[in-house]
Amino acid sequence: MQDSVGIGKRDPAAIHGSIIKRYSSFVRLEIATPNSKRHYSGLAESGLSERIKVLTQQTMFGGPWTQQKLEVLSKYLSAYTKIFTKNPKAQFYTTSYVDAFAGTGVIRRPALGGFATFFPELEKAEEKFRKGSVRRALEVEPPFDKYVFIEKSAKKCKELKAVAAEFPQKKVNVINEDANSALLKWCSQLNTQRERAVVFLDPFGACVEWKVISALAKARAVDLWILFPYSAVNRMLMRNRKPQGALAERLTKVFGTADWEKSFYSSRKFRSLLTETHVEEDHKSVDHREIIDFFMARLRKEFEAVADPKPLHNSRGSLLFMLIFAAGNAASAKTGIKIANSIKFDY
């Protein structure tokens, strides 16, 4: 851990003209003058004073992309509940928010340390940063009628229940189960004549099975936000041969078809110098655009409409995920797509 020397003894105003760094294996926090020529990536909190910009980068569960996806989700949820509260026709429906990989509701980070007390804006920004999708959804106003939080870890479910207890006026159901099986059960019990829902699929890797996505689409009552795990999928797609065994099965479950093989791979024949016979070799023949387009095309076959995907990169500029919105209900699809496409990253 490294801190600037003597911060506790200095006048807070004097700190404004300096750069304060605090390092650990999980977090980097920096305060910089507006004229600094250094390049920073992270969260810019609009409420800060003109002379201070707070930038945070989380490396434990992601970087700025973590905040980008959560900001987009929060804005959509807020717009969604406003429509169902104010629109007389929409008031007929009961609304639900379903978080299938709920975690604990909090993004874990080390404490800021004593210097943060000089900057109330910094503490406020950090508090906002720590809020995961669960807490953000519970804080949306107007609220949803029901909340469903799915989490495979029993320990995390206890923490989710503790978060839910902070909102006693809200109807929260915490389900300790695998997301795929839990969502299939939830879909089978959904009253599509009287209920509408937003489902958030934020997996750690390529673990969401296509049959779940298809079930959500067939309900014709669900708006879906999903993180397509491009980086995880791309790692499974080997360059000089097709994936076999468990890898191939996983890719087929992710895409819902084995057609990825012929779409992503080409064959070439050449004469062996040793045996003088022809040898056939498979090789990967697609880039990130074609892999994403393949997934998008699959979504469009299932849902009424699909919005423009939003790329999420790490601090080095590598593509990690595509944040995608898909509308399942024909009557509201146009409005949902318009809202989703209008939401831009703030940083």
If asked whether residues 99 and 209 sit together in one domain, one would say yes
pLDDT tier, 105 (very low <50, low <70, confident <90, very high otherwise): low
pLDDT tier, 61 (very low <50, low <70, confident <90, very high otherwise): very low
**How far is residue 234's CA from residue 23's CA, in Å, rounded to a whole number?**
32
Spatial CB neighbours of 85, under 8 Å, sequence gap ≥ 6: 91, 142
If asked whether residues 42 and 139 sit together in one domain, one would say no
- Mean pLDDT within 306-327: 95
- Mean pLDDT within 5-13: 35
If asked whether residues 54 and 198 sit together in one domain, one would say no
Domain assignment present for residue 327? The answer is yes
pLDDT in tens, 283-293: 999 999 999 99
Domain assignment present for residue 122? The answer is no
pLDDT tier, 67 (very low <50, low <70, confident <90, very high otherwise): confident
Identify the residue with better confidence: 17 or 137. Answer: 137
Domain stop point among 10, 31, 58: 58
If asked whether residues 136 and 113 sit together in one domain, one would say yes
Domain assignment present for residue 134? The answer is yes
If asked whether residues 156 and 138 sit together in one domain, one would say yes
For the chain, the average pLDDT equals 79
Neighbours of 129 (CB within 10 A): 20
Task: Say what the pLDDT of residue 65 is.
Answer: 86
Count of structural domains within the chain:
2
Domain assignment present for residue 313? The answer is yes
Task: Say what the pLDDT of residue 346 is.
Answer: 63
If asked whether residues 156 and 30 sit together in one domain, one would say no
Residue 345 has pLDDT above 50, yes or no: yes
As given in the structure block, the two tokens for residue 8 are 């506790």
pLDDT in tens, 232-256: 999 999 998 999 999 999 999 999 9
- Mean pLDDT within 122-138: 63
Domain assignment present for residue 156? The answer is yes
**How far is residue 198's CA from residue 223's CA, in Å, rounded to a whole number?**
5
Neighbours of 166 (CB within 10 A): 11
- Mean pLDDT within 61-67: 72
As given in the structure block, the two tokens for residue 39 are 């390049």
pLDDT tier, 159 (very low <50, low <70, confident <90, very high otherwise): very high
Evaluate whether 224 touches 213 at the Cβ level (below 8 Å): yes
What's 331's domain CATH number?
3.40.50
In the chain, the percentage of residues whose pLDDT exceeds 90 is 63
Task: Say what the pLDDT of residue 244 is.
Answer: 93
Domain stop point among 29, 58, 87: 58
If asked whether residues 18 and 34 sit together in one domain, one would say yes
Residue 117 has pLDDT above 70, yes or no: no
SS3 for 20? strand
Q: How far is CA 96 from the centre of its chain?
A: 18
pLDDT tier, 3 (very low <50, low <70, confident <90, very high otherwise): very low
The DSSP output letter for 257 is S
If asked whether residues 159 and 82 sit together in one domain, one would say yes
Residue 119 has pLDDT above 70, yes or no: no
Pairing of strands 94-99, 146-151: parallel
If asked whether residues 177 and 218 sit together in one domain, one would say yes
State which residues form the domain around 25.
Answer: 2-58
- Mean pLDDT within 108-119: 40
Task: Say what the pLDDT of residue 274 is.
Answer: 67
Size (the chain), residues: 347
If asked whether residues 197 and 310 sit together in one domain, one would say yes
pLDDT in tens, 200-220: 999 878 999 999 999 999 999
If asked whether residues 77 and 216 sit together in one domain, one would say yes
**How far is residue 185's CA from residue 158's CA, in Å, rounded to a whole number?**
22
pLDDT tier, 43 (very low <50, low <70, confident <90, very high otherwise): very low
Task: Say what the pLDDT of residue 66 is.
Answer: 86
Domain assignment present for residue 124? The answer is no
If asked whether residues 79 and 33 sit together in one domain, one would say no
CA-closest candidate to residue 195, choices 186, 204, 203: 186
Residue 197 has pLDDT above 60, yes or no: yes
pLDDT tier, 130 (very low <50, low <70, confident <90, very high otherwise): very low
Task: Say what the pLDDT of residue 271 is.
Answer: 67
| CA dihedral over 303, 307, 308, 312, signed as positive or negative | negative
Domain assignment present for residue 123? The answer is no
